[in-house]
Structure 1
Amino acid sequence: MAMRKGERSFYKSDYNLAIVQIQTALEVFITNFLERYYKLDENLSDEEIKKKLGCGYANVVNDHLLKTIDNLNLDNFNEIKNCVKKYMKDYYDMRNKIVHTGATYKKEDAIEFKEIVADIIRLITFGMKNKSYSDFSKEFNIYNIINKKIDINEIKNKYKKSYS
């Protein structure tokens, strides 16, 4: 829902709002992904999950998301890791700069932001496609539809290079 709101804001040329809403969509995706993984595969209680994920967004991404994806042994782990690292290095602070310092971004910035967020979500979703060995992966694949028109190899090729 937040991603759609972000796209709508983008098409209305409200690029800052688009970035904030798309960032929110990514945070929701990552949080839901991790909550369901910890619940279904790690059998953690709601309280334990809340404690684990209550460490701030950057820590959730760096300390939980990448480790979880590695634990799931996704075929495209390196591309996901590189994409997430690039996002954290080059795009993560955009939302905070908008909210806290009044930064203004242009259409090109919003396009890049929207693309890298979509790439993260697509890489994870496509990576999960062939993982059906756990309760979490089975549930994830039921509720996350893969668009056959997306060229995942084109996306993967963008993130062959490592970002520190």
Structure 2
Amino acid sequence: MENKELFSLNKKSFKNDFLPIYKQFGINPNKVFQTSFTLPFHLPFNGGTSVTMFVEDKIAFTATFNTLSSKNGYRAGVVSTEELVFENYKTIVELSLVFEQDAYDKKCMEDGEDLISNLFDICLERLNLFIRSYRIMTKDKLTHQVNLKMLEAIPLFRIVDTETWIEQMGACITHTNVQYEKKPLTNLDSDKVFHYANVIGNNLNPFILSQELILDAQRNYVEGFYKEAIINIQTSFEVFLRTLLTELYKAENKTSEEADEIYDAKGFIGVLKSQFHERLGGQWKIKDEDCKIGRWYSKCYKIRNSIIHGGLVPDYIQTEEAINATDEVVLEIFQLLKTKESTYPNISSFISVANM
């Protein structure tokens, strides 16, 4: 019994359906790298739609789109015994990179053990061009650019020789963002959670918002939304410092309006440079990357500005560095506050609870 083909670009279809297109680009492929993903949204191209793009000399990229429909059942909590069933639509996309032999050999030599990872990156970079074009042309707000963290955790791939159609199959772990069963909370921990909801509801801890923004940034990073992660982690730090200055002023019998005035007069960076060292000590030289505030300035603040003002699209390394640098400087500020606990007791209690 003949095995069913996993890919639409295959031994039977290659010669008549795909090879003539590649020859239009002056490419006579000998090697094909292929993978397939289910996108987290639906692109309504007709099933089997294929599009090919020139990559560089002797290399081309082909994407083939198909629709996956499934029935999702929903229950109204535990009060309904019957499911409400809705059709759910997503797009399966097949990604193929085709090479002439010498171009493939050169790629293998240049990339070494990073070859497969780099081939995935090229495929997603080209796929995102089509997604961006679709978004702009259709104004579909439910779609977005994708990266490996947003897709299947263990994608399959194959490398095929188009002369013999001998294939090398493989799989790789691209992320560990999968659902898992969490350890149940103890009754005591559950009671703490329920009690703290009253603290939040009554605005008894002014540092809650900055903590939520940190969690938002961490979730954005895990899900692959790097731009949003950096914006959120930087916003969390700005909110944290503004809240901190307000609470420091209150402890000194000053008003929150006075804190607002100093922010209006000096701006965020001016306040950072002038208001905290005299109260907490520590290093606050933003241009010195040997200290934590300097690393935050370089790895987070400047990157966020490049996103907002220059349209930078950050990668996962830049995002990880931004989050880590901010975590480190916040932890250092916590440690400085502990040394001033007798002067600012309320602030220390707020922060210790918010960071349990």
Q: Scaled by the length of structure 2, what TM-score is found?
A: 0.36
Show CA shifts across 1:34-55 (max 9, x none).
11101212x2223222111222
The more displaced of 53-62 and 12-21 is: 53-62
Instruction: Show structure 1 runs of 4+ deviating over 4 A.
Output: none
Alignment equivalent of 2:346, drawn from 139, 145, 158: 139
Deviation (angstroms), 1:6: 0.5
Matches within 5 A, 1:62-101: 62-70=273-281, 77-78=282-283, 82-101=291-310
Unaligned runs of 5+ in 2: 1-211, 286-290
**Alignment partner of 1:49 is 2:259:** yes
Deviation (angstroms), 1:145: 2.0
CA contact (8 A) 2:213 2:232 kept: yes
Deviation (angstroms), 1:132: 2.5
1:125, 1:14 → 2: CA distance? 28
Alpha-carbon spacing, 1:30–1:141, altered in 2? closer, same or farther (3 Å)? same
2:346, 2:229 → 1: CA distance? 29
Alpha-carbon spacing, 1:104–1:62, altered in 2? closer, same or farther (3 Å)? same
Q: Where is the helix percentage greater, Structure 1 or Structure 2?
A: 1
Deviation (angstroms), 1:63: 1.9
1:130, 1:57 → 2: CA distance? 24
CA contact (8 A) 1:39 1:49 kept: no
Identity %: 22
Q: Which has more radius of gyration? A: 2
Deviation (angstroms), 1:140: 1.5
Show CA shifts across 1:109-148 (max 9, x none).
11111011001111111222243322xx201121112879
1:50, 1:56 → 2: CA distance? 10
Deviation (angstroms), 1:57: 1.5
Deviation (angstroms), 1:93: 1.4
Alpha-carbon spacing, 1:53–1:67, altered in 2? closer, same or farther (3 Å)? farther
CA contact (8 A) 2:300 2:326 kept: no
How many residue pairs end up in the alignment?
138
Partner of 1:13: 224
CA contact (8 A) 1:83 1:116 kept: yes
CA contact (8 A) 1:34 1:68 kept: no
Pairwise CA RMSD: 2.1
1:111, 1:38 → 2: CA distance? 33
Q: Where is the strand percentage greater, Structure 1 or Structure 2?
A: 2
Supply the AA of the counterpart residue of 2:231.
V
CA contact (8 A) 1:30 1:65 kept: no
1:122, 1:34 → 2: CA distance? 16
